[in-house]
Structure 1
Amino acid sequence: MLVQADRVRAQIAAILDRWGMSPDLAATTVEAMTETDLLGVDSHGISMLMTYEKRVQEGKVKLTVPPRIEKRTACTALVDGGDGLGHPVSAFAMNLAVDMAKEVGVGVVGVRNSHHFGAAGVYARIAARRGAIGMVTSATRGVAMVPTRGAMPVLGTNPLAFAAPAKRNRDFVLDMATTTTAAGKVKVYDLNNKPLPSGWVLEADGTPVQDPKRGMQVVFDEAAGGLSPLGGSPEMASHKGYGLAMMVHILGGTLVGASFSPIRNRTQKPEDPDRLGHFFMAIDPAAFREAGDFENDLDDVIDVLHATPASDPARPVLVAGDPEEAERQRRLEHGIPIPEALDRHIRAICERSGAPYLLS
């Protein structure tokens, strides 16, 4: 079924309220999750409530602790997420990075003691909307990526997002996992009962998994096998994807003092928080160029790309961010798709939490 964004927003808010989340923290989380669904990133929006409920029930997530700055210089800061959901601290951190960039040219903010933050591109877009270049990386809880020549997963999907402001065109926004696909996309295929594209999920012997339920077992139960690195095959392509995932973890995990999942999982008790880390950087183009020059030049670059002759005239050349913005407009008009299986999950969460069911 298709559900208008206001209803999705109200449903998420009602559930977070019943879980006891502070109103200001919940408001930021609701907006981030709804925006994610509007952009078509179905793996990281309202469907994440299934995972968040489990974390709340386990006592891993604190829902009333606001972000707190631990260390700060003129252009850097370290922020403690208070073991809460990652959306409030991530919006706080990116806005802080932009504030510093507007003052001194660049702002870099690390976050630790956080949890899953949804789609990285949501926070990169904050910087672009405020006229800054933004970059976001994050460590992840799950162990899903099989390294080059490996037979079992070691790293997570470790996302990377980058956004830059244009003037006439849509902002450039790249939002990607460092695996061939994000783990949450496997969940979306399972909810829609669709076969997985070959090469996304691999058994320990390298056999592609196409059954979505088996894919869920391999990826989310951390069985042998997992997600292929970005680039898949040949070996050097996947090795670069694996290296990119390591780079992202170094920034979003090691630099900020966050946990590394394979090490944490050896000693973590059921109630221990995930202690994830995130990394946010903002650059003010005015530190390098006269006001407006950067945006004008970026517009020229985007114009050239859009004007490139297409191999299929019915499918024009796209620039990163175009598909998501086009999907956002469609979903604002027609609604956000909620598969029947997801709807059943949301109804069940409402029953368990005592929240009203608001999607229909």
Structure 2
Amino acid sequence: MEKSRLQLLASMTENKRRMQMLEENLLFRLANSKTSLVDDLDLLEVLKNTKQTSQAVTYQLNQAAETEAEINAAREEYRPVAVRGSLMYFLISELSNVNHMYQTGLRQFLRLFDESLLRSERSPLAYRRIKKIIIYMTYNIWSFIVRSLFKVDRIMFTLLLSIRIGLQSQQIRNEEYELFIKAGSNLSLINCPPKPAKWISDTAWLNIVSLSKLHNFSGIVEQVRDLGHVCYLLARNAYYAMNCGVININCMYHNQRHAVILIFACPAPFQVIQAERAWHSWFEKEAPEEEVLPCGYEGSLRPFCRLLLIRCWCLDRVIPQAKHFIATTLGETFADDLLLTMDK
């Protein structure tokens, strides 16, 4: 397709050059004719040839314009392939920031790209053909690059690849990606709500506060902080005091008595307490990323949001959850360790 486009451009350029030469020759003849235009047979012959050539060239240019439009439309269909290739190349070029040995030249990458076009499964339908090219190319280039990386960097590269693809397809928002990178590192405990429990580390609490800025997690701080716990304790103490005769509820003003009864009778504090306990129980699991998420988050989060939640709560469980995320977005093959063989 690219070869046809280049040939077409060369043909159009040549035809335009011929048109210009004919016009210049005709103008020269007209300006230097010493006889009547009707009697100048050579000039009449030039006019005849110029007209015929002009008509032929004009027809060829119109045909070329239509062919160019068809080629451009076909090229546009394959733009997703070019977008995926561009995404992977720039990600690979950034690997040199991790280790200066991770160098991949453009010529080498283009060889892998062209190889993917030739070896991928063919289909008469364009959209299926494009999908098969993208799948084959992604794995072909990924497997080639992974072989040259240290094992400690392979999961990082694969995770970045899946995140970049998610950003490009708008399945991951920029603010989510920024939170995944920074979490609560730009916050201070002084400017955050007080930490509700000792079992939550300072870093985890800052991460959770930062996570609450996302729409999907807007209520997580209130759930963990256990805001109803204070009301519950006050009501419980008042209830015990009344039962022991320390406080006579009949001596209270009506609004005070009503407040105590309402606070104690309301089930909301118990729900909040249960939420805090649920988070604590989930956090204490050996592999919390494999457990059901508390407070209705299970089943309501996109794969990357689930990874964000694990990243903020349990930093030591990010790698296992990252493998789950990679398997969900790219496939199980990308999440498994690549077996290296001598022939490759």
Q: What TM-score do the two structures reach when normalised by structure 2?
A: 0.19
Question: Per residue, is there more strand in 1 or in 2?
Answer: 1
Question: Per residue, is there more helix in 1 or in 2?
Answer: 2
Q: What TM-score do the two structures reach when normalised by structure 1?
A: 0.19
Greater Cα radius of gyration, structure 1 or 2: 2
Higher RCO by CA contacts (8 Å cutoff, separation 6 or greater): 1
